[in-house]
């Protein structure tokens, strides 16, 4: 009888411990938060709507830039409109006109690759991040298999410790 009571107490104690463990929230790493933020940005770029907009973790204001230079700041509210993402290239990488991170992502017909940290600039060494956001986590989306450097591009999001995107840059290969 004692053995049965001891087993019952042990089983209850173990069940109580198991319940406590499962009740705790899962710990999310910075890399997981950043990847999730980028995946939300990709979903909005490819299908802009209220449902995809609602899940993008944007800081109150977001800086937009080209390569290693930040050019403008927009409120999160402004960025709900895809046109607010447009940047004037002003002969950036020997190109003219306008472009946006959302346009690059939406126009890519092939698979995308999401990575973290510094990445090659197509066939060249990595371009450093803008100094103002260099300490933030850098998450990157690029075409998984571009036909060549002229088809290569990158969109880098810089994510803070709360998982919010504070800056987004785009970069292109120079023809």
H/E element holding 147? none
Note whether residue 7 is domain-resident. no
144-168 confidence digits (pLDDT tens): 999 999 999 999 999 999 999 999 9
52-97 confidence digits (pLDDT tens): 999 999 999 999 999 999 999 999 999 999 999 999 988 899 888 9
The C-alpha angle 113, 116, 117, rounded to 5 degrees, equals 130
Q: Which domain holds residue 98?
A: 28-172
Which CATH number characterizes residue 62's domain? 3.10.450
Note whether residue 94 is domain-resident. yes
Note whether residue 10 is domain-resident. no
CA dihedral 43, 45, 47, 51 (to 10 degrees): 60
Note whether residue 137 is domain-resident. yes
7-25 confidence digits (pLDDT tens): 333 333 333 444 434 445 5
Q: Among residues 45, 68, 167, which one has the least CA distance to residue 119?
A: 68
pLDDT of the residue at 167? 98
Asked if 91 and 104 count as a contact pair (C-beta separation under 8 A), the reply is no
Note whether residue 21 is domain-resident. no
Note whether residue 114 is domain-resident. yes
Note whether residue 23 is domain-resident. no
Please give the tally of structural domains in the chain.
1
Note whether residue 110 is domain-resident. yes
């Amino acid at each position: 009888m004692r053995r049965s009571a001891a087993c019952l107490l042990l089983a209850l104690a173990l069940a109580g411990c198991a319940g406590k463990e499962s009740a705790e929230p899962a710990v999310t790493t910075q890399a997981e938060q950043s990847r999730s933020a980028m995946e939300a940005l990709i979903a909005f770029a490819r299908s802009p709507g209220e449902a995809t907009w609602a899940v993008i973790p944007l800081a109150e204001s977001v800086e937009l830039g080209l390569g290693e230079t930040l050019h403008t700041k927009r409120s999160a509210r402004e960025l709900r409109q895809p046109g607010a993402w447009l940047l004037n290239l002003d002969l950036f990488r020997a190109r003219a006109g306008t472009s946006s991170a959302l346009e690059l992502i939406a126009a890519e017909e092939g698979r995308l690759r999401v990575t973290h940290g510094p990445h090659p600039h197509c066939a060249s060494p990595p371009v450093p991040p803008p100094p103002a956001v260099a300490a933030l986590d850098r998450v990157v989306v690029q075409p998984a298999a571009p036909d060549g450097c002229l088809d290569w591009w990158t969109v880098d999001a810089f994510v803070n410790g709360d998982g919010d995107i504070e800056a987004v840059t785009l970069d292109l290969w120079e023809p």
